Amino acid sequence: MRERLTVESDARPFHPQARSTVPPSSDAIRTESLVREFDGVRAVDGVDLRIPTGEIYGFLGPNGAGKSTTVHMLCTLLAPTGGRALVAGYDVGTDPGKVRLRIGVALQEAALDPKQTGTELLNLQGRLYGLTRHEVNQRVAELAELIDLGDFLDRLIGTYSGGMKRRLDLAAALIHNPEVVFLDEPTTGLDPVSRVQVWSEVRRLNVELGITIFLTTQYLEEADELAHRVGIIDHGRIVAEGTPTDLKKAVGSDVIIVRVEGDPTSACPVLEDVPGVDGVEVHGSELVVSTGSGSATISPVAVALAGTDLVVRDLTLRTPTLDDVFLELTGTHIEPADTEEDRP
């Protein structure tokens, strides 16, 4: 087993301005020994999370690790087998209705009515959450710019492409300005421009409105770009948690990769004497130099190589990535699904 690496009435409509059910210093999401079993098999095995109000939390895990099961429990779609989970100050087991009024959810499987138009769906969603007609119209206008569907909002959802449905589902999750938003791979199926637009909206929701974002993603650069902290789940347990920077530092050193002509082993003794070099390995025609500070060491390494008989073809500095963290802790890479360009 891996060690964890830690660096009102239900009937009252939820008004977007009446959001102060939890003190600002409280945790927006908190779990204690959260467990979910299926036929005696633990898909989630004692997960402890503390996510402060206003944080963007990235949640990563390989297929079958318990990531989706955890999210479904936090969204009240699955009841915990054991332990406890609080979202927006309410217990998902004993007060699921109160939790639902205060969260927005965009899961991988978008549940959209193909017989509605996009505008009709957003209007219905807003009215169900108690927004006035004026508030709904204002919010739809704001979200229409985000999801960039143009005239397609007035077309039947059944005519939408996969990426268009993802953008509409995201807008539906945000219509009532929730306290906590769960985004399950929100940019899957989007082109790079739309993905950056979604990133910008996620930041705006977090910074300007203080919304807590629980983000699962298959794009590691997305977690690195957006998340204040990242949690990695494997075999139902949290095996690492911390800021992206701290997690990457914990995995290992910077690496300088040198591709040469000639026998690279001849340069090992020279490079090992360079200040700041922690170790040198040879892989084929490449020298792999590990160092605690690549930016400070790369120039001395280049100078040392210039004094040898080797011809240096290229010299590259690579810092650890979240993929390195993921590989170190789970033994596998996250492989994003191939998606086609499907913007209108």
Domain containing 157 — which CATH number? 3.40.50.300
Residue with more model confidence, 90 or 218: 90
The answer to whether residue 334 is domain-embedded is: no
Q: Which pLDDT tens digit goes with each residue over 12-51?
A: 333 333 333 434 448 999 999 999 999 999 999 999 999 9
Report residue 5's pLDDT band, with 50, 70 and 90 as the boundaries: low
CA torsion through residues 88, 92, 98, 104, sign: positive
Q: Let me know whether 161 and 286 are in one domain.
A: no
What is residue 317's predicted lDDT score, i.e. its pLDDT?
92
Residues 6+ apart with CB under 8 A from 39: none
| Residues 156 and 302 occupy one common structural domain | no
Confidence band for 108, pLDDT divided at 50, 70 and 90: confident
Asked whether residue 92 falls in the same domain as residue 159, the answer is yes
Choose the weakest-confidence range: 196-205, 215-224, 280-289, 330-339: 330-339
Identify whether residues 239 and 280 lie together within a single domain.
Answer: no
Residue 333 lies in a domain: no
For residue 117, the 8-state DSSP code is B
Q: Are residues 215 and 257 located together in one domain of the fold?
A: no
pLDDT at residue 339 greater than cutoff 70: no
Domain region containing 95: 5-248
Residue 298 in any domain: the answer is yes
The terminus-to-terminus CA distance of the chain in angstroms comes to 47
Residues 29 and 75 in one domain: yes
Given this model, what pLDDT does residue 9 score? 35
Residue 158: predicted pLDDT: 94
> pLDDT-based confidence at 327, cuts 50/70/90?
confident
Separation between Cα atoms, residue 148 and residue 197, nearest integer Å: 9
Tell me how far apart the alpha carbons of residues 232 and 3 are, in angstroms, rounded to a whole number: 12
Same domain, 46 and 109: yes
Predicted TM-score of the model (pTM): 0.76
**Residue 329 located in a structural domain:** no
Q: What is the CATH number of the domain that holds 313?
A: 3.30.70.100
The proportion of the chain whose per-residue pLDDT surpasses 70, expressed as a percent, equals 90
Task: Please provide the DSSP assignment of 204-251 as one string.
Answer: HHHHHH--EEEEE-S-HHHHHHH-SEEEEEETTEEEEEE-HHHHHHHH
What's the total number of domains in the chain?
Answer: 2
Cβ atoms of 233 and 60 within 8 Å: the answer is: yes
Looking at residue 186, what is its pLDDT? 82
Average pLDDT over the chain, rounded to whole? 85
Please classify residue 51 by burial: count the beta carbons closer than 10 Å to its beta carbon, then call 0-12 exposed, 13-18 middle and 19+ buried.
buried
Which among 77, 172, 80 is positioned nearest to 123, based on CA atoms?
Answer: 172
CA atoms within 13 A on the CB side of 5: 24
Q: What pLDDT is recorded for position 25?
A: 44
pLDDT at 189 over 80: no
Residue 4 pLDDT: 57
Q: What are the pLDDT digits (tens) for 79-104?
A: 999 999 999 999 999 999 999 999 99
Cβ within 8 Å of residue 116, ≥6 positions away? 124, 156, 157
Same domain, 177 and 282: no
Question: Measured in whole angstroms, how far is the alpha carbon of residue 168 from the centre of its chain?
Answer: 19
Is 339 domain-assigned?
Answer: no
Indicate whether 344 belongs to any domain: no
In-domain check, residue 165: yes
